[in-house]
Amino acid sequence: MSSDPWGRVDETGTVYVRTADGEQVVGSWAAGSPEEALAYFERKYEGLVVEIGLLEKRVRTTDLSAKDAQAAIDHLREQVDAHHAVGDLAALRGRLDKLVETVEARREERKVQRAKQSDEARKAKEDLVAEAEQLAQSDQWRAAGERLRALVDTWKGLPRLDRKSDDELWHRFSHARSAFSKRRKAHFAQLDAQREDARRIKERLVAEAESLSGSTDWGPTAARYRDLMSEWKAAGRAQREHEDDLWNRFRGAQDVFFAARSSVFAERDAEQAENLKLKEELAEEAEKLLPIGELKATRAAFRSINERWEAIGHVPRDARPKVEGRMHTVERAIQEAEEAEWRRTNPEARARAEGLTGQLQAAVDKLGAQIEQARAQGNNSRADKLQKELEGRQALLDQALKGLQEFGG
């Protein structure tokens, strides 16, 4: 018979393992010595030790699920409870019990973690839905569209919730995207219609602009081109594939007209440059008539200058105000001299001036006599009052005498 602290072999070859509940039969051995029998079943024990150690490591260092871990524990426990090994089986059961506790603790941790992740995922998805519903009302079509696509990618990367909650949030999220797409589609459909209207209007404007490009009616045609440009701006933009071509045709027609007008005006200005030189000489000649001496001779000289002026013709437009202003200055001076001469020689006006002067002189003389009489009578207050009245009449008389002098009187 052979034995060790954890087992023995009896004389019949039966192998026993010692446990807290007494000896348990491990098996029978008939192929060799009792020592070999114990060694064989001790190796089986060591194998269980290794398997339990590996399971402990997997539970500790990997994401082995609680279900799989528990299944492995149960499998090992069955082997330990079968007593087919010689060793400290109670120690193995203790390790398996602790492993069960560890797995349960991990299960609770993962449950809490899953709940936390679920709450975080719910909050994240609710935030995505809220942003999507806000973007659904946006008119920033490009930016909002790109952001909604990014939100979809973010959604796909989030964990799923319970089916009901996930479906409800997804329905709101999808509805917001659909609402935005419908609004965007309606907007661009309306925009396309507006651009088609703009294209038709601009086709008409181009046709008219091209028909006017050969006109030589410079003023009215230039004004019409300005009106056409205003209508062009008010029409809005046509489709991109038409806008540039229409603009090039429209602008090209204007360029043809204005280039022709500029050429004609340049030629005309060259011809009128000589006219300007001649008119400047006449303006200088007219200015020498000032200041006016003998009115009749001055008037005749200016008339001669003006006749030569009219015979010369047009001058360049930008020079016209200055040179014509010089002639107008001389003309106004002659007109003012004529008006002054007329007032001076007008018999009716002279008679009225003489009559007024006589009346005022008589009034002044009368007031002077009344003042002398009042002072002689010692009535100084009346004399002072009459003196003030005399001063007013004297001022009017002085003014009337000055006016009479203009008539040579």
- Tens digits of per-residue pLDDT, 43-79? 999 999 999 999 999 988 888 888 889 999 999 999 8
Contact 265, 245 (CB under 8 A): no
Q: Tell me the C-alpha distance between 364 and 389, whole Å.
A: 9
H or E segment and range at residue 16: strand 14-19
Interval 10-33 mean pLDDT = 83
For the chain, how many structural domains are there in total? 4
- Confidence band of 23 (pLDDT split at 50, 70, 90): confident
Q: In the predicted model, is pLDDT for residue 319 greater than 60?
A: yes
**pLDDT exceeds cutoff 80 at 34:** yes
Range of the domain at 47: 1-161
Quick: pLDDT tens for 184-218. Answer: 999 989 888 988 899 999 899 899 999 989 999 98
Q: Do 82 and 6 share a structural domain?
A: yes
Ranking 9-18, 176-185, 301-310, 398-407 by mean pLDDT, the lowest is 398-407
Question: Are 112 and 85 spatial neighbours (Cβ–Cβ below 8 Å)?
Answer: no
pLDDT at 350: 66
Lowest mean pLDDT among 250-254, 308-312, 367-371: 367-371
Question: Averaged over 253-282, what is the pLDDT?
Answer: 87
Sign of CA dihedral 155, 159, 163, 168: negative
| 168: in domain | no
> 185 lies in a domain?
no
Per-residue pLDDT averaged across 376-382, rounded? Answer: 87
What is residue 1's predicted lDDT score, i.e. its pLDDT? 52
DSSP character string of 143-197: HHHHHHHHHHHHHHTSPP--HHHHHHHHHHHHHHHHHHHHHHHHHHHHHHHHHHH
* pLDDT at site 349: 65
Q: Which domain-ending residue is among 220, 252, 268? A: 268
Q: In the Cβ-directed half-sphere of 330, how many Cα atoms lie within 13 Å?
A: 21
Q: Are residues 115 and 231 in the same domain?
A: no
Among 235, 268, 301, the domain boundary falls at 268
Residue range 284-309: mean pLDDT, rounded: 90
Mean pLDDT score of the chain, rounded to an integer? 87
pLDDT band with cut points at 50, 70 and 90 for residue 304: very high
Q: Are residues 151 and 2 in the same domain?
A: yes
223 neighbors 212 (Cβ within 8 angstroms) = no
Q: CA-CA distance, 3 to 38, in Å (whole number)?
A: 8
| Confidence band for 172, pLDDT divided at 50, 70 and 90 | very high
Q: Dihedrals φ, ψ of 86, to 5°?
A: -110, 120
- C-alpha torsion angle, residues 140, 145, 150, 151 (rounded to 10): 90
Listing from the earlier edge strand, what are the strands of the sheet with 22-28? 2-4, 7-9, 14-19, 22-28
Residues 210 and 99 in one domain: no
336 and 351 housed in the same domain: no
388 has pLDDT over 90: no
Q: What pLDDT, on the 0 to 100 scale, is given for residue 390?
A: 82
What band does 127 get if pLDDT is binned at 50, 70 and 90? Answer: very high
Chain position carrying tokens 């081109």: 225
Do 35 and 85 fall into the same domain? yes
Global confidence as pTM: 0.44
Task: Work out the pLDDT band at 407, boundaries 50, 70, 90.
Answer: low
For residues 72-97, b (16+ Cβ closer than 10 Å) or e, as one string? Answer: bbeebbebbeebbbbbebeebbebbe
Residue of 127 and 2 predicted with greater confidence: 127
> Is 182 domain-assigned?
no
**What pLDDT score was predicted for residue 270?**
79
For residue 170, being part of any structural domain is answered with: no
In this structure, the answer to whether residues 130 and 235 fall within a common structural domain is: no
- In this structure, the answer to whether residues 260 and 352 fall within a common structural domain is no
In this structure, is residue 178 part of a structural domain?
Answer: no
Burial per residue of 288-326, b for 16 or more beta-carbon CB atoms within 10 angstroms, e otherwise: ebeebeeeeebbebbeebeeebeebeebbeebeeebeeb
Confidence at residue 108, expressed as pLDDT on a 0 to 100 scale: 87
56 and 137 share one domain: yes
Inside any domain, residue 187: no
Q: What is the DSSP letter of 236?
A: -
**Does residue 320 sit in the same domain as residue 387?**
no
111 and 228 share one domain: no
Determine, yes or no, domain membership for 71. yes
Spatial CA neighbour of 118 closest among 162, 64, 170: 162
> Within the chain, how many helices (H) and strands (E) appear?
11, 4
Do 331 and 361 belong to one domain? no
Q: Looking at residue 144, what is its pLDDT?
A: 93
CA angle in degrees (0–180, nearest 5) for 77-81-84: 110
Span of 15-19, 219-223, 352-356 with lowest mean pLDDT: 352-356
Higher pLDDT, 150 or 354: 150
* 230-261 pLDDT, tens digit each: 999 999 888 888 899 999 998 999 999 899 99
Q: Is residue 177 part of a domain?
A: no
